[in-house]
Amino acid sequence: MNIVFRGPNDSRPRLLSRIVAEGGLPADLDPVVRETATASRFTGKAGQVFEGFTGGEAGFQRLGFAGIGDATGAGKLAALERAGGALTAKYLTSGETSLAIDFAGSGLSAEEAAAVLIGARLRGWRHDVYRTKLTDEQKPSLAEIVAVAAPDGTEAAWEIESAVAEGVEFTRELVTEPANVIYPESFVARCQARLEGTGVEIVVLGKDEMTALGMGALLGVSQGSVREPRLLAMRWKGRAGAKPTAFVGKGVTFDTGGISIKPAAGMEDMKWDMGGAAAVAGTMLALAKRKAQADVIGVCGLVENMPDGNAQRPGDVVTSMSGQTIEVINTDAEGRLVLCDALTWVQKEYSPATVIDLATLTGAIIVSLGHEHAGMFSNDDMLAGQLDAAGKASGDTLWRFPIGPAYDKLIDSPIADMKNVGPRYGGSITAAQFIHRYIDKGVAWAHLDIAGTVWVDKPGATHDKGATGFGVRLLDRYVRDVLEA
């Protein structure tokens, strides 16, 4: 969705909207519209939307109002995003092509006005590529948001936020595409196309290169599929000198479970088992587009997990790139096998000071947290605190879980260095313990289990049902607050 800026005296669309605090309907509002709003019990509560109409010498006008409640402090930006998203949701298929948001007299700062705009843009994202029978009433008509009389500095703030929005939208695109369209090779090709000309350095490893490096864990997952694996590395070097930061994403482009096959019901959802890799790709696009002053490497381990005659069997033992051996008890616990080799490679190749991995890793995290938070595990309290703060500021919220020796011993194997699953209970924790065994001494590390947050079955404040783009705004906020500080 396009965002344009106009002055208070410039021409504007027929559809005009305002952001309203609780109990704060504009003083200059047409009395009939005010009375109608009151009768409709519109008070400006967060997320409330009211529509009115007015006419006269200036002609017919359609009016929209979105409430932000009495939000203050850190909650105000979220309320403003929600208001912008509510306006888009109201008018996306209304027949209107342009919506003006009038900021005159709003008292908002540039950052706050930009929050309204990013909420409006993100809520308007849809993926209708394969829908050929939509009626005119079902098709999105709203193509433009016009910011009228925006506070000084809003355009500069929006230049940054629009880059982040583009990253979120790219992540949603990758997650939404079906597995016959996005698989390891095509995931790489799409990233190469989107990152072309941005200054991001790209390295791609194929099956032969990974075999030579000894990535037996990652390759074991992919061996049942005709789709060959890839390791994709993207580096944005916006600052020189310090050790880089690495973001590593699980990219299982489709997960049948392998020989430990999943139930048929709901298996189609496993196209989004590459949500961690998609979040890393979207983040790298956002950082490059806004010219972030940071040195960041994004790595995606990309495989397809299928159950053919060559597939990995339960009970097989594989050797990871680190030299550690793994007894594969369950081939559906494959994401950690992909991540461990990707993590070893990025640490050997780039020596990052900090590593953050993102993965749709366990169903257990959904049992624990539902779809409201992602799970966080870390060996470093400072990093955990920084990510928690970034999550609260961005809306991609996290909840920290414990790790420690008592959990770690649960993945010891009688015939190898470790097994890829622990007992029934604490499944998200033992998965994190597995990954922790591949983090070098002295490296600050956090693992984010995002299985419950990359895809949802109902709309949210800034997203429709489906792909959320979770992780991009979180990592971007971490870069802003920590690496660019």
* CA 328, 331, 335, 339 torsion-angle sign: positive
Catalytic residue among 45, 126, 190, 262: 262
Pairing of strands 444-449, 374-378: antiparallel
Please classify residue 6 by burial: count the beta carbons closer than 10 Å to its beta carbon, then call 0-12 exposed, 13-18 middle and 19+ buried: middle
CA atoms of 299 and 210, how far apart (whole Å) = 14
Please classify residue 210 by burial: count the beta carbons closer than 10 Å to its beta carbon, then call 0-12 exposed, 13-18 middle and 19+ buried: buried
Q: What DSSP letter does each residue of 116-140 carry, written as one string?
A: HHHHHHHHT----TT-----TTTS-
Active site residue 392: no
Of 396, 397, 418, 398, which is closest to residue 409 (Cα–Cα)? 418
Q: What are phi and psi of 395, to 5 degrees?
A: 95, -10
Please report, for residues 143, 174, 253, the alpha-carbon distance to residue 133 in angstroms, rounded to integers and kept in the order given: 20, 23, 28
Residue in the block written with tokens 């990219």: 251
CA atoms of 308 and 187, how far apart (whole Å) = 22
What is the longest distance spanned by two Cα atoms in the chain? 85
**Number of CB atoms found within 10 A of residue 353's CB:** 14
Active site residue 348: no
Catalytic residue among 290, 336, 419, 480: 336
Which positions are annotated as active-site residues? 262, 336
